[in-house]
Amino acid sequence: MKRSYLKRVLQVVVFLSILYTAGCNDNGGSPSGPSDCVSGGVCGKVTGTINKAPIPGSTVRIGGATAVTNSNGDYALAGNFSGVTVINVDGPSQFPRQVTKDLSRSNVANIDAIERINAFSLQFYRQLVRDAEESFFLRPTNRWEGSEPTFFIDTRPEIGTGAPIPSSTIDTVRNVIRQSMPVFSNGFITGSKITVTNNPPPDLSSGSIVIRFDHTLLQAGAFGVTRIQTIGSRIDAAVTRLVLNPSFPFDELTSHELGHAVGFFHASARPSVMVATGSCGCGLFTSDDSVHMKINYSRPAGNTDIDNDPTDAVTKSLAKREVIEIICRK
Ligand SMILES: [Zn+2]
């Protein structure tokens, strides 16, 4: 008797589990998407990356199966999908987007795509994150992932002049880290890990961004040089050298070089602190910088043009170590 009761309880539990799995649940949260999201199918919502609003009229595609988002941005794809799956979304009011989702965890795939709105410039974005202004090819995006870097402000005298580093300069660098980094990284880098030291780790030590003062750059016509070391497309380390007394505001120069250290390149299609001359007259960053930089840090490292997240296979094939040097000169 006791045994059959237990069996009955187990049957109910199993039945409820099946119901739960068949429903449209995202990480155990409340149901979302159209109610016809059935077992084996995929459902979810398509929203804008910038304004976060639902995007109606977009086509969601897995292989040959397609569905169009309704006025709430919701879609439901009938079919039998499981495991790691590539999903494409395209529509008149968004740029094409490709994501990779593990459907064995959930059959909800909420996807954000970049809106076709004036706030976004594809040309500027390509310059900023894909080095389109100076590279021969559109790079996959580079960014810090995992844990945030530690900033080391090197207090040794400026190379070339032996000039001591004023405490006001160190304060400026510290303030720029704290103000620019959260904006550039969509909040990922808080700038809370700062070490002021005359004994920084060797250049390109894993997890570090070292800031060093170097007057000899001027001999090459430069005011700053930043090198980033990447593993795959993940930034592993960076070192930036900058002159102590540039011909334009020092805080702009610092923000510019740290922009390189977290994955950005020279960009001129919109007002930007990343303009190649380093002198934007815009303070630490512009509103265009903020909008476009945040997109990079809302995507995994290795996102490719226009907006394709890497599949695991692609990420692994790209997992080689590379050092990229960015020279900044007038
Ligand atoms: Zn630069």
Query: pLDDT grade, residue 215 (50/70/90)?
Result: very high
The pair of three-digit structure tokens given for residue 192, joined into one six-digit string = 């809370």
What's the CA-to-centroid distance between 275 and ligand 1, angstroms?
Answer: 7
What's the CA-to-centroid distance between 221 and ligand 1, angstroms?
Answer: 12
Q: Write the Ramachandran bin of 19: left for phi over 0, alpha for psi from -120 to 50, otherwise beta.
A: alpha
148 and 64 together in one domain: no
What's the CA-to-centroid distance between 65 and ligand 1, angstroms?
Answer: 45
Phi and psi at residue 173, to the nearest 5°: -60, -45
Return d(Cα 97, Cα 77) in angstroms, integer.
17
CATH number for position 260: 3.40.390.10
104 and 178 together in one domain: no
Residue 277 maps to a domain: yes
Structure ipTM over 0.95, yes or no? yes
CATH number for position 75: 2.60.40.4130
What's the CA-to-centroid distance between 94 and ligand 1, angstroms?
Answer: 30
What's the CA-to-centroid distance between 303 and ligand 1, angstroms?
Answer: 22
What's the CA-to-centroid distance between 249 and ligand 1, angstroms?
Answer: 14
What's the CA-to-centroid distance between 287 and ligand 1, angstroms?
Answer: 18
Spatial strand order of the sheet with 150-154 comes to 194-197, 150-154, 208-213, 234-242, 222-231, 321-329
Among 78, 93, 113, the domain boundary falls at 113
92 and 127 together in one domain: no
**What value does the mean pLDDT take over residues 161-178?**
97
139 and 106 together in one domain: no
Phi and psi at residue 93, to the nearest 5°: -110, 15
Q: Indicate if the pLDDT at residue 314 is higher than 70.
A: no
Residue 236 maps to a domain: yes
What's the CA-to-centroid distance between 257 and ligand 1, angstroms?
Answer: 6
What's the CA-to-centroid distance between 140 and ligand 1, angstroms?
Answer: 19
What's the CA-to-centroid distance between 272 and ligand 1, angstroms?
Answer: 11
Q: Indicate if the pLDDT at residue 199 is higher than 90.
A: yes
214 and 317 together in one domain: yes
42 and 90 together in one domain: yes
Q: What is the pLDDT of residue 23?
A: 38
Residue 10 maps to a domain: no
DSSP β-bridge partners for residue 54: 47
The pair of three-digit structure tokens given for residue 142, joined into one six-digit string = 């580079």
108 and 126 together in one domain: no
239 and 179 together in one domain: yes
State which residues have CB under 5 angstroms from ligand 1, the bound ion: 328
Domain region containing 272: 122-329
Q: What is the pLDDT of residue 104?
A: 86
Among 51, 78, 113, the domain boundary falls at 113
What's the CA-to-centroid distance between 222 and ligand 1, angstroms?
Answer: 9
Q: Indicate if the pLDDT at residue 305 is higher than 70.
A: yes
What's the CA-to-centroid distance between 188 and ligand 1, angstroms?
Answer: 22
Q: What is the pLDDT of residue 151?
A: 98
215 and 305 together in one domain: yes
What's the CA-to-centroid distance between 211 and ligand 1, angstroms?
Answer: 14
Residue 4 maps to a domain: no
166 and 212 together in one domain: yes
Count of structural domains, the chain: 2
pLDDT tens column, 38-78: 677 899 999 999 999 999 999 999 999 999 999 999 999 98
Residue 215 per-residue DSSP state: G
Q: Which of 246, 313, 309, 324 is nearest to 280 (CA)?
A: 246
238 and 183 together in one domain: yes
What's the CA-to-centroid distance between 130 and ligand 1, angstroms?
Answer: 14
